[in-house]
Amino acid sequence: MISVLINGICGQMGRAVYAAIQAQSGAFSAVAGVDPFDCTNTFSCPVYKTLDEIKERADVIIDFSIPASTPEIVRYALEKKIPAVIGTTGLGERELKLIRSASEQVAMFQTGNMSLGVNLQVELVQLAASTLGSNFDVEIIETHHRKKVDSPSGTALMLANAVASISPEDEEFVFGRHEKNKRRTDNEIGIHSVRGGTVVGEHQVQFIGNDEIIEVSHRAFSKQVFAQGALRAAKFLVGKQTGLYNMKNVVTEHDAASRLFSLENQAVVIMRSFAKEDAFASRVFDVIAEHGVFVDMIACSEPDEQSLSIGFSLNEASLSEALNSINELTRNGYGCDIRTRTDLTKLTLEGTGMALQHGVAAQLFSTLRKEGIHIWLITTSETRIEFCVESVHAIRAADAIREKFHIG
């Protein structure tokens, strides 16, 4: 059971975290709360005015309070050597710097929004920004309850930073447009805040182009969305020694790879050319394309003074035509050794978590080595690893990989 210290327990989010802990009493326990306001009759755990009064030992701190409390939270976490989940919004550079510094000695978690849905929204916004490019203007509208203090919300800034991280230009954040008598510039990201009623939280990102608008929106109908996210973050953080983490790390901790695909009847061609011409690789694929042959994975070694190695995969049925096209080059004086392998299966391991975790390829190599399975060709990207194995070993390879990476 994970024991939790709730800072800001009398606030709306503090109460929501406490309620979420009570609902998961077998997994979490609230050992104490801290809040300068008097609400001791509301909770079964002791509530203290300051951190220094606490007598209980906690496994993790969850903080939903105000930015002014951040230095004390960081101090307490360092002093007690316990990790802290900081969900307080409106943090300035001073508070963020303190958190970053503390993360070198103790595990710290900080995000502008604890909702898994919002963090998915951030990913979708980045995808939209990279796809739509500079032809679309970006406007962000956030709506919260009338008691919210900080403006714009931390989530709105997360979304704006997500867009800015994709743009090759320096984006300018424009907060509202009052007293601005000029046209919108190309590199603006407009951010607008609405406050009223009991709205938990709404965030809308508009990509506005010529004659069309794309919107990516998220609405939270209960603070339990954020409370559950905070508990998930706390569970993730317990046991971590040092480091600064956010919700993306939580989502992808066990999802370095989430999908595995297979494609049968594949072949691999490996060529070692003795031609000193740098354009040999392009000539190879030009002549293959002229014969209407589609190739898949391509691997090319750095040429030395004597040779260049090229490898590629293709459908086994196209192998004969590919070799015929390559023979045209050899007849024209390009000397090369050619090796082929047929009856292969291409496996594709995919997962967004690869972009956040080191050593996924190393784990793959190790897993297949233990099974005595040879990889004939492999290519990688940020979120995908493609490789060929002998078809006779494909099922065994897939089973070992699924077990290693917890793929259902």
Cα 37 to chain centroid distance, Å, stands at 38
The residue written with tokens 């750095």 in the block is: 302
- The Cα angle at residue 63 between residues 48 and 72, in degrees rounded to 5: 65
d(C-alpha 170, C-alpha 180), whole Å? 20
Q: Residue 191 is which amino acid?
A: I
The alpha carbons of the chain give a radius of gyration, in whole angstroms, of 28
Distance from C-alpha of 79 to C-alpha of 53, rounded to nearest angstrom: 14
Q: Provide the 3-class DSSP secondary structure of residue 131.
A: helix
Strands 336-350 and 259-273: antiparallel
Active site residue 144: yes
For residues 145 and 199, is the Cβ–Cβ distance under 8 A? yes
| Catalytic choice (49, 97, 148, 248) | 148
Contacts of 68 (CB under 8 A, 6+ apart): none
CA distance 212 to 189: 18
Give the C-alpha separation, 12 to 195, whole Å.
16
Place of tokens 């929204």: 121
Catalytic entry in 49, 81, 97, 144: 144
393 is an active site residue: no
Q: Which helix (H) or strand (E) covers residue 218, if one does?
A: strand 212-220
From the CB of residue 7, how many other CB atoms can be counted at a distance below 10 Å?
Answer: 28
CA dist 305 and 325 (Å) reads 26
Q: Helices marked H in 238-375 — which ranges?
A: 247-252, 280-290, 319-331, 360-370
By 3-state DSSP, what share of the chain in percent is helix, strand and coil, each rounded to 5? 40, 30, 35
d(C-alpha 159, C-alpha 118), whole Å: 9
Q: HSE (CB half, 13 Å, CA atoms) of 82? A: 20
Q: Hey, which residues are catalytic here?
A: 144, 148
